[in-house]
Amino acid sequence: MDMTHPLTPEACRRAAHERLQRRDPETAEQFFRHLLELLPHDVEALSFLASRHYARGELVPARDLSLHAVAREPERVDLLQLLGAVQLANGDFGDAAGTLQRSLQLAPQAFVVRLQLGVAQEQLGRAHDALVTWYTAIRTAQNQGRWTNDQTTAPAVRELVKYAINYVNRERRRLFSEVLEPLRDRYGASELTRVEQSLSIYLGEQPANIPDARQQPKFLYFAGVPSQPYYERSRFPWLEALEQATDDIRGELEEQLGAARDLEPFLGTSAGAATGEMLKSWGKDEAAWDAYFFYRHGKRYDDHCAACPITAGILDRLPLVRIRDHAPETLFSVLRPGTHILPHRGVTNTRLVTHLPLIVPDHCAINVGGQEHVWQPGKCVTFDDTFLHEAWNRSGETRVVLILDSWNPDLSEAERAAVTDLVEAISDFNDATAPPAQA
């Protein structure tokens, strides 16, 4: 097309597109320049020309054209991303951070943009913000199979991704180590030696070297305590008082079961595929594992506690684990006829699980680490659920046990305090860096 003759805007745009289809961006750029002369606010021309200037390292015109384009269409994600990248390259870190954050509000899954935002935040001296941003970017990318190695990382960002990963590893260590500092002052550093080792294992700085292959905590392995599926009842002097209350606790349970009050699926109403992975039916009836919670993830069910005052009162007097948003976890566990809870593992060996059997038909049992245990009404059993374990009810009646979690007795007072503070800090950080939901 001859540009020496006057062209309409439509003809310029059409010619530019044709040149791009022919992989001739240089000539396409000429047509877009002419288009911009005819239509000074044309966003397509502004964006294309800005990207060409940016590719050549001509940052001032790239910035000016990008700003013009964003002013015309402030909700265009691609325009915001281009402007943010230009501002970042130009050293306008404050402006870049604001622009990139705006683009992430519109496209939160854009992990490369988060990578760029972390650069701006680090340059601005916002070290913690950079840590959160980069870890979120890494988790988001790796959830999509990216940034797991050089092959899954684009060459253009490979070195920056490695830098961000190293930064995250270093700053996470600093963050969690600072959480323990008050306890070092209170108890002495030597009292937290095993906690420090456990933190190193969690951060991937050293292998767990768990002595029993059957044990695989899903979250936190506490090093240096015995690995054993079941624990002797002599380790828990409070079990006797709990067992003596069996009849009263069972009476409150039966009242709730008789009224069918407030039972809910243990795995949650939206567990979906997880239910199929966790439960199996031995017969014609659908598998069902229900719960009547007193505490779940540390939240107290006040109505349930009020309805079962004897049970609640006893639970309140027991040395349960208490970690914000995590523990205690106490409930009537209701396993329906023919239901098999499939083999699974718990999150940490810092706490143990106790069952007080209340209603136990024949053909009901639990297996922990390959060792089967048949519940006996009123006789507690305590086990480490980080061992592979399963439970079943092969009878035609409902089985119910009271479940509660208590500290592993092999942890000292200082270690329990440290685990509490550390788990809360890790949880808060993981919540802050959770990958955004996909649209």
pLDDT score, position 437: 86
Region(s) of the chain under CATH 1.25.40.10: 9-169
- The count of C-alpha atoms lying within 13 angstroms of the C-alpha of 25, restricted to the half-sphere facing its C-beta, is 8
- Is residue 380 within 8 A of residue 243, CB to CB? The reply is yes
- CB count in 10 Å sphere of residue 57: 8
How far is Cα 79 from Cα 58, in angstroms, rounded to an integer? 17
Any idea which fold 233-410 has?
A: Jelly Rolls (2.60.120)
pLDDT score, position 272: 53
Find, among 236, 199, 241, 187, the residue nearest to 409 by Cα. Answer: 236
What share of the chain in percent tops pLDDT 70?
Answer: 97
How far is Cα 170 from Cα 164, in angstroms, rounded to an integer? 10
- CB count in 10 Å sphere of residue 379: 14
Rounded mean pLDDT for each run of 10 residues along the chain, 439 residues in total: 71 97 96 97 98 97 98 97 98 98 97 98 98 98 97 97 98 97 97 98 96 96 97 96 98 89 82 73 90 96 97 96 97 97 97 98 98 98 98 96 98 98 98 89
Tokens at 386, concatenated = 């980080």
Tokens at 342, concatenated = 């499939």
How far is Cα 137 from Cα 112, in angstroms, rounded to an integer? 7
pLDDT digits (tens, 9 = 90+) for 75-110: 999 999 999 999 999 999 999 999 999 999 999 999
Secondary structure string (H, E, C) spanning the chain: CCCCCCCCHHHHHHHHHHHHHCCCHHHHHHHHHHHHHHCCCCHHHHHHHHHHHHHCCCHHHHHHHHHHHHHHCCCCHHHHHHHHHHHHHCCCHHHHHHHHHHHHHHCCCCHHHHHHHHHHHHHCCCHHHHHHHHHHHHHHHHHCCCCCCHHHCCHHHHHHHHHHHHHHHHHHHHHHHHHHHHHHHHHCHHHHHHHHHHHHHHCCCCCCCCCCCCECCCCECCCCCCCCCECCHHHCCCHHHHHHCHHHHHHHHHHHHHCCCCCEECCCCCCCHHHHHHEEECCCCCCCEEEEEEEECCEECHHHHHHCHHHHHHHHHCCECCECCCECCEEEEEECCCEEEEEECCCECCEEEEEEEEECCCCEEEEECCEEECCECCECEEECCCECEEEEECCCCCEEEEEEEEECCCCCHHHHHHHHHHHHHHHHHHHHCCCCCCC
- Is residue 373 within 8 A of residue 221, CB to CB? The reply is no
| CA-angle at 387, arms to 382 and 392, nearest 5° | 70
pLDDT score, position 7: 86
Question: Do the strands 364-368 and 389-393 form a parallel or antiparallel pair, or are they unpaired?
Answer: antiparallel
pLDDT score, position 288: 95
Tokens at 233, concatenated = 């009842």
pLDDT digits (tens, 9 = 90+) for 185-197: 999 999 999 999 9
Residue for token digits 């002097």?
A: 237
Q: What is the CATH code of the structural domain delimited by 9-169? A: 1.25.40.10
Region(s) of the chain under CATH 2.60.120.330: 233-410
Question: Distance of CA 199 to CAs 127, 172, 202, 353, Å?
Answer: 21, 11, 5, 22
- Is residue 410 within 8 A of residue 349, CB to CB? The reply is no
Find, among 25, 24, 14, the residue nearest to 51 by Cα. Answer: 25
- CB count in 10 Å sphere of residue 196: 15
